Amino acid sequence: MIDRYMPEDLAQIWSEENMFRSWLRVELETCRALAARGWIPPESLAAIEENADFDVARIKEIEKVTHHDLIAFTTSVAEFVGPDSRYIHWGLTSTDVVDTARGLQLKQASAILLDAIDGLRDAIRARAEEHRRTLMMGRTHGVHAEVTTFGLKLAVWYDEMRRNRERMERAAATVSVGKLSGAVGTFAHLGPEIEAEVCGRMGLAPAPVSTQTLQRDRHAEYLSTIAIVGASLDKFATEIRHLQRTEVREAEEPFASGQKGSSAMPHKRNPVKCEQVSGLSRLLRGYAVTALEDVALWHERDISHSSAERVILPDATGVLCYMLRSMTKIVSRLVVHPERMLKNIELTRGLAYSGQLLLDLTRKGVLREDAYKWIQRCAMKVWDEDKDFLQALGEDPDVTKALTSEEIRSVVDPEKQLRNVDAIFARVFRA
């Protein structure tokens, strides 16, 4: 991933240095487990632990000859260790090291992603509480529906991010797994107890069964989860972009001092950060497709997944982290225009309360079908004749027979529709 969208802490996790350091940890933990069983002399283990290291430049130099990065790595380590290096990589196959180390890297990356999710949820909750009763127009199909509050809109986002956190926790556990089962998964040289011990020392779960590789449905689930979280961020960003449209202008992403919106039009304040989030979410969905393609490998293993994963795992975790942190800043500093929200409620001159009127008429004994017909007739006059809804209702003989003028006026009351806002908040933000 280009530096623009790769946070530094994620870049460090996926750096060559950390990858090789994770490989070395797998090798060392295996040596310790073998030494505990008397398979490696104590003095040899001491020499390995004291001297084991690698040189990235040297690994690349060796790989030019071997065309095998793990062999290049163990060769470089052997140059540091000396004769006792014969115990390193004993009974292991390359993928034992690579997949187990990758499980460690994914666990590290997941911890950062979960923290970023928590940061966004905190920001959403704060703004939701701030705007718990900030009235605005609810829309369905892009058309004015009934009155809601901006806080309720954000409460929906908060609850969605709760589900995303749960998904991410499950997916992280699914890939925080290691395997040391050998060339075809039979534990032909090291027993399952070695695998369990090494994985336990690294904070990973041992795979119950594996081939030469961990099965890639795990990674497909992980990338699919990342894509789902990204889709939620895309949804939030798209909503802000709609609210920032000039004709709506109910909320705007922050616009910094000195920021420029257009090279040609000085007046422009565009939702560029939200658009960036929407664009990056498309990458995440593509990575998920690639991960699904990686599930089907030939027999006990082929290497077709490897090249793809070198790209999609660092990129997906880095991009999602960038998106989460970006959206946290957007939500925290979002410019909200409550007065514009009220003006937009008034645009349709009372039509937002037609549903309440329908209920009021049925309480008076009017058949629902008749009440709907009367109200729709009045509503069409608002749309087509530019009338006020209450005026049209007051001129309708059927409506005025069923309701007094005071009862008609009382319809235009958002509190009737929002009486349960506090109950919703209590349910969403429960401890």
Q: Distance between alpha carbon 309 and the CA centroid of its chain, in Å?
A: 19
Residue 174 structure tokens: 């699914």
Q: How many CB atoms lie within 10 A of CB 356?
A: 18
152-176: burial string, b at 16+ Cβ within 10 Å, e else: bbbbbbbbbbeebbebbeebbebbb
Answer yes or no: 326 catalytic. no
Three-class DSSP labels, the chain: CCHHHCCHHHHHHCCHHHHHHHHHHHHHHHHHHHHHCCCCCHHHHHHHHHHCCCCHHHHHHHHHHHCCHHHHHHHHHHHHHCHHHHHCCCCCCHHHHHHHHHHHHHHHHHHHHHHHHHHHHHHHHHHHHHCCCCEEEEEECCEEEEEEEHHHHHHHHHHHHHHHHHHHHHHHHHHCEECCCCCCCCCCCCCHHHHHHHHHHCCCEECCCCCCCCCCHHHHHHHHHHHHHHHHHHHHHHHHHHHHCCCCCCEECCCCCCCCCCCCCCCCCCCHHHHHHHHHHHHHHHHHHHHHHCCCCCCCCCCHHHHHHHHHHHHHHHHHHHHHHHHHHHHHCCEECHHHHHHHHHHHCCHHHHHHHHHHHHHCCCCHHHHHHHHHHHHHHHHHHCCCHHHHHHCCHHHHHHCCHHHHHCCCCHHHHCCCHHHHHHHHCCC
- Catalytic residue selected from 85, 144, 181, 262: 262
- Catalytic residue selected from 141, 257, 267, 299: 141
Give the separation between CA 266 and CA 275, rounded to whole angstroms: 19
By DSSP bridging, strand 135-140 and strand 143-149 are antiparallel
Answer yes or no: 76 catalytic. no
Containing 42, the helix (H) or strand (E) segment is: helix 42-51
- Which residues are identified as catalytic? 141, 262
